[in-house]
Amino acid sequence: MNAALAFDDDTLARGIPARDTIPGFPSRPARLTRARIEPISDEQFQFAPDHGFATDILAVKGLGGELIEMVAWRTDAPGRWWLYEGSLPVLGEEFISLTTEIHKSKLRLVENPLLWWRAISAGRDDTVCVLDWSADPRPIFTGCTIVCWGENGDALKEKLRRAAFEHAKPNWTLEVHHGA
């Protein structure tokens, strides 16, 4: 059994808040608990029950109940986080089409996973959080109206613009040669 499944089966069953599913989507749980981790890179972590530091862990499951990703952050510093698999660029991505196409709503972009969890727990399924700022946000947010939410909304807006610009730059070199 891999560590993600062991964590899901054994650890996630303890200390889960009463509201452990995304409102309106009972088949898609997102659960919050605590565990000890250690970063293995700037973006990823591993479980370290004996020597790691305490963190909040958000486990995000797919519509079929499979574990998609786990996100960890220090309880006192939610602005810095690590991913377990590194496979989920945006929290709430699967609800973007539901929010924008069906409900004709704007997306609320928040700056960290804790704010996303609080919004989802409060019934705001129109909320997203970029987890991987190196991923290209353009295909994810195509056609959306995004409201950068919170006291750092202006900085978040600029960060999203920079991320999109980085992926819009040409990935080739042009040269001109005049003559024979």
The 10s digit of each residue's pLDDT in 94-148 is 778 776 676 677 889 999 999 998 888 888 888 999 999 999 999 888 888 899 9
In-domain check, residue 175: no
Residues 115 and 34 in one domain: no
Say if strands 53-61 and 127-130 run parallel, antiparallel, or are unpaired.
unpaired
Looking at 28, 61, 86, the residue that finishes a domain is 86
In-domain check, residue 124: yes
Model pLDDT for residues 13-58, shown as the tens digit of each residue: 333 333 334 344 333 457 788 888 888 888 888 888 878 888 888 8
Residues 129 and 104 in one domain: yes
Residues 80 and 100 in one domain: no
In-domain check, residue 71: yes
What is the pTM assigned to this prediction?
Answer: 0.75
178 or 21, greater pLDDT? 178
Residues 69 and 98 in one domain: no
pLDDT on residue 80:
92
Beta carbons of 67 and 53 less than 8 angstroms apart: no
- Domain extent, residue 81, equals 1-86
Residue 8 has pLDDT above 50, yes or no: no
Residues 98 and 159 in one domain: yes
Residues 139 and 117 in one domain: yes
Residue 159 has pLDDT above 80, yes or no: yes
Looking at 70, 86, 102, the residue that finishes a domain is 86
**Token pair for 150:** 């919170």
Characterise 81 by phi-psi region: left (phi > 0), alpha (psi -120 to 50), beta (else): beta
Query: Whole-angstrom Cα distance, residue 84 to residue 2?
Result: 12
Domain count of the fold of the chain: 2
pLDDT on residue 86:
86
Based on its alpha-carbon atoms, the radius of gyration of the chain, rounded to whole angstroms, reads 18
Residues 64 and 137 in one domain: no
In-domain check, residue 178: no
Beta carbons of 89 and 135 less than 8 angstroms apart: yes
Instruction: Give the count of alpha carbons within 13 A of 79, CB side only.
Output: 3
In-domain check, residue 180: no
Residue 161 has pLDDT above 60, yes or no: yes
In-domain check, residue 179: no
Model pLDDT for residues 61-90, shown as the tens digit of each residue: 776 677 888 899 988 889 999 998 888 899
Q: Position 84: which residue type?
A: Y
In-domain check, residue 176: no
Looking at 60, 86, 112, the residue that finishes a domain is 86
| 35 contact partners, CB below 8 Å, separation of at least 6 | 7, 11, 47, 49, 54, 55, 57, 72
Residues 120 and 40 in one domain: no
